[in-house]
With several copies, the nearest count.
Chain A
Amino acid sequence: MNIIDQGQGELFLDPDPDKARAFFRTKNRKLVNKVMDLKEAVAKFVQDGDYLAIGGFGANRTPIAACHEIVRQKKKNLGFAGHTSTHDMEILSAGEVYNRIDVAYIIGLEARGLSTCSRRYMESGKVKVTEWTNYSLAARLRAAAMGVPFVPTRNVMGTDTIKYSAAKTVECPFTGKKVVLMPALYPDVSVIHVHEADIFGNARFKGIAVADVDLANASKKLIITTEKLITSDEIRRDPSSTRIPYFLVDAVCEVPFGAYPGNMPYEYFSDEAHLREWLSVEKDAEKFKAFLDKNIYGCNNHEEYIARNGGAEKMRELRAKELLLSKEVSS
């Protein structure tokens, strides 16, 4: 193919579908019990140097408990898909667990402001950066999910965003138009948080999917954290609701409130006060160290973290906020 234009950014992963096939061929297709502790799942499936992707959307249905555990286990030299990453990136930056990143959206927490910690780490020179966009990374996951080396898109042309990416512009042989080829992205390991899963890994979630279905299909290793385990009979009673089939999944970890302090649709809203505390405490190195010791390094698990930040009463508040119960009271 004649390449009209191509980015000079580094491609961190091999888009070769035959190499991915050789790996996927070895994955176990049996219905086996994959339930394990999150500590064990992260120790077993997140290896130093792996390329990591995190499901959800920044602080929405995001496996925050897993991000804490990855930092707690002091993983190093990870690659990271900075795809709609917000609080997840803030946590991973605090642990400096990654040294290369595909950027779509980073550093910011949307309307909440920017993370000093993420920004400091991104400006430290310790991180290799390739630039993409939200759709570009979603398209790269789609290509991997399809088992092809790329998919075409029509964004980024004419910008520095493509110049610092690893995409290539070619001429469409059907229309003569320019299209951008987005190379397949097969993360080594991903973590996705869901509402319900069975012990084999069949998983359901409610609300927006973001890019999680393609992410699940594209990932070589996949850890599912779930608000609760359900029976396989319940999964099979309504197979139309299954979003992630079991054979993609390596570990199933039951982590109630696993997206806290983020938002879990229909279950609990985000803890904005705690997220503001993160953003402010980051500005003071001393305070931030103490904050991390309290909330991550000093906790054995997510349950302890929640206990230190309001516990059951706080969860009740956040559930009421998610369900907008106040509007019912006032009306």
Chain B
Amino acid sequence: MTDYNAMEIMISVAARELENGATVGVGTGAPCAAAMLAQKTSAPDLVIMFEAGGISPNLPEMPISVGDSRTFYKAAMAGSMNDIMEACSRGFVDYTFLGGAQIDMYGNLNSTVIGNHANPKVRFPGSGGANDFASFCWRMMVMTPQDSRRFVEKLDFLTTPGWLQGGDSRANSGLPLDSGPYKIITNMAIMDFEPVSKRMRVISIHPGYSAKDVQDNCSFELLQAAAIAQTMPPTAEELRLLREEIDPYRYVIGR
């Protein structure tokens, strides 16, 4: 069996979710690596967009910032933040990848504070473009380590909308119709959301982990799909691309 680390399987799994010809709004790090891997494997025509204005660049290397020169290197267009956000708002962007300090069973995210807002225990960056992407893009995905302190019963602050309180709550919220969380990808498993309750549901578990491992590292009860698949590990080619072409200095995949 090929040797790989947690970040490598998360990125490989995420890349496989992106079909050819789709549009994806990405940030720096793992999401960008996943999009680049998809372009080099199953989705050569994947269109990458960066919130600061870069549209369909030919990324020469991984950007350090979603606004640095690489994000519009040989791009179709170097536009504005409004060009990107309005394209998302109009329904032109299919996918986005987000993260956060906390996530709940409905895929809502917290990247604002731990503790109360007035005088927080810990202050985080805030929404940035996360709330916008999660509100506008058709399918929001999350890549995050499986950890009980991240997968919480209740968020300290609901920064970014998932399925809100589940059921019809998002459909009734005023957010664009039919948009919402799609897949949650961790170092242990892949989760989706049960269509009616909109609760997080395990659909695939990575080699070396059990259903118990996944639940033990989550503070809320995870639903289980009727048939739970075993995740295909990163292929030798996926690993080669990640290690040699996409992230040669291992900024993202680590050592």
Q: Bound pair: A and B?
A: yes
Chain A positions within 8 Å of B, measured between CB atoms, are: 17-18, 20-25, 27-31, 56-61, 82, 84, 86, 103-108, 110-112, 114, 119, 122-123, 125, 129, 131-136, 138-139, 142, 144-148, 153-161, 164, 169, 177-180, 200, 202, 206-214, 217, 235-237, 239-240, 242, 245-247, 263, 265-266, 269-270, 272, 322, 324, 327
Residue A60 contacts which of B68, B94, B108 (CB distance < 8 angstroms)?
Answer: B68
Which of chain B's residues have a CB closer than 8 A to the CB of A164? 117
Nearest chain-B residue to A22 (Cβ)? B91
Residue A156 contacts which of B72, B120, B122, B135 (CB distance < 8 angstroms)?
Answer: B135
Contacts beyond the supplied A30-B21, A158-B164: 9 A-B pairs with Cβ under 8 Å: A25-B91, A82-B126, A106-B126, A147-B86, A159-B131, A178-B173, A208-B72, A210-B53, A263-B68
Nearest chain-A residue to B65 (Cβ)? A110
Bound: A116/B169 CA distance, A: 38
Determine whether the beta carbon of A134 is less than 8 Å from that of B51. yes
B74 within 8 A of partner (CB):
yes
Q: Give the one of B77, B78, B88 with max A CB within 10 A.
A: B77
- Tell whether A106 pairs with B79 under 8 Å between CB atoms, given A17-B89, A161-B160: no
Determine whether the beta carbon of A158 is less than 8 Å from that of B169. yes
Bound: A133/B32 CA distance, A: 21
Bound: A180/B23 CA distance, A: 26
| Chain B nearest Cβ from A131, distance in angstroms | 6
- Tell whether A131 pairs with B112 under 8 Å between CB atoms, given A122-B123, A160-B159, A161-B127: yes
Determine whether the beta carbon of A146 is less than 8 Å from that of B86. yes
Bound: A157/B171 CA distance, A: 11
Query: Chain B's interface: helix, strand, loop or mixed, by majority?
Result: loop
Residue B132 contacts which of A61, A155, A322 (CB distance < 8 angstroms)?
Answer: A155
Which of chain A's residues have a CB closer than 8 A to the CB of B71? 208
Q: Give the one of B90, B132, B177 with max A CB within 10 A.
A: B90
Determine whether the beta carbon of B175 is less than 8 Å from that of A154. yes
Bound: A145/B80 CA distance, A: 13
Which of chain A's residues have a CB closer than 8 A to the CB of B126? 82, 103-106, 131, 133, 161
Instruction: Report 22 cross-chain contacts, Cβ distance below 8 Å, ordered by A residue.
Output: A24-B90, A25-B138, A57-B67, A60-B65, A60-B67, A82-B126, A104-B127, A107-B125, A111-B29, A123-B122, A134-B51, A144-B90, A155-B135, A155-B136, A159-B108, A159-B158, A159-B164, A161-B127, A208-B52, A211-B80, A211-B82, A242-B79
Residue A157 contacts which of B76, B78, B173 (CB distance < 8 angstroms)?
Answer: B173
Which of chain B's residues have a CB closer than 8 A to the CB of A114? 125
CB-CB contacts below 8 Å: B110-167 with A: 112, 117, 119-120, 122-132, 135-136, 138, 157-161, 164
| Chain B nearest Cβ from A152, distance in angstroms | 10
Determine whether the beta carbon of B124 is less than 8 Å from that of A107. yes
Nearest chain-B residue to A16 (Cβ)? B177
- Tell whether A161 pairs with B158 under 8 Å between CB atoms, given A110-B65, A147-B91: yes
Chain B positions within 8 Å of A, measured between CB atoms, are: 20-23, 27-29, 45, 47, 51-58, 60, 63-69, 71-72, 74-83, 85-92, 94, 108, 112, 117, 119-120, 122-132, 135-136, 138, 157-161, 164, 169-170, 173-178, 251
Q: Give the one of B85, B124, B173 with max A CB within 10 A.
A: B85
Determine whether the beta carbon of B90 is less than 8 Å from that of A202. no
Which of chain B's residues have a CB closer than 8 A to the CB of A247? 23, 47, 92
Residue B90 contacts which of A145, A179, A206, A242 (CB distance < 8 angstroms)?
Answer: A145
Bound: A269/B89 CA distance, A: 31
Determine whether the beta carbon of A24 is less than 8 Å from that of B91. yes
Which of chain B's residues have a CB closer than 8 A to the CB of A103? 126-127
Which of chain A's residues have a CB closer than 8 A to the CB of B94? 25, 29
Nearest chain-A residue to B130 (Cβ)? A133
- Tell whether A239 pairs with B64 under 8 Å between CB atoms, given A20-B90, A114-B125, A207-B72: no
Determine whether the beta carbon of B80 is less than 8 Å from that of A209. yes
Bound: A156/B159 CA distance, A: 8
| Chain B nearest Cβ from A81, distance in angstroms | 13
- Tell whether A210 pairs with B80 under 8 Å between CB atoms, given A29-B22, A157-B174, A270-B68: yes
| Chain B nearest Cβ from A185, distance in angstroms | 13
Which of chain A's residues have a CB closer than 8 A to the CB of B63? 111
